């Protein structure tokens, strides 16, 4: 089970960090429509207004899920170092799942908001 830790750790850290940084950029209005960074779907890329509406709708979810993923990751590392393998790996796995689910929910919110833009 300990062999899974590095992969889960990488996924959890990347998802958590990217989600928090993306949310911060959105909330600071520093994420113009582009094809490299952001929630890039057919609906959000349709116009600048759709991009903005979609990303604003997704920002809170990205921030919260990213922060939760990072906290769970840190807790998982502490538990793993201090004790048995299973609980630490489970917490890091939960962190990766929280980050992934948060990204999915944020994308669905972004698409819904972008579709409401005329």
Q: Which of 35, 114, 100 is nearest to 62 (CA)?
A: 100
Q: For 15-66, how does the pLDDT look when each residue is reduced to its tens digit (9 = 90+)?
A: 999 999 999 999 999 999 998 999 999 999 999 999 999 999 999 999 999 9
Task: Give the Cα separation of 55 and 83 in Å (integer).
Answer: 40
Q: For 98-113, how does the pLDDT look when each residue is reduced to its tens digit (9 = 90+)?
A: 999 999 999 999 999 9
Cβ neighbours for 79, distance < 8 A, ≥ 6 positions apart: 87, 88, 91
The predicted structure's pLDDT at residue 1: 59
First and final C-alpha spacing in the chain? 50
Task: Give the Cα separation of 87 and 83 in Å (integer).
Answer: 8
């Amino acid at each position: 089970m300990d062999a899974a830790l590095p992969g889960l750790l990488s996924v959890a850290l990347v998802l958590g960090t990217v989600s928090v940084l993306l949310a911060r950029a959105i909330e600071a209005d520093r994420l113009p429509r582009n094809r490299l960074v952001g929630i890039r779907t057919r609906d959000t890329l349709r116009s600048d207004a759709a991009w903005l509406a979609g990303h604003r709708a997704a920002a809170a979810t990205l921030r919260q899920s990213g922060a939760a993923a990072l906290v769970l990751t840190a807790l998982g590392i502490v538990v793993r170092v201090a004790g048995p393998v299973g609980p630490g790996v489970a917490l890091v796995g939960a962190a990766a799942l929280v980050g992934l689910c948060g990204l999915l929910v944020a994308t669905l919110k972004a698409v819904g908001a972008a579709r409401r833009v005329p």
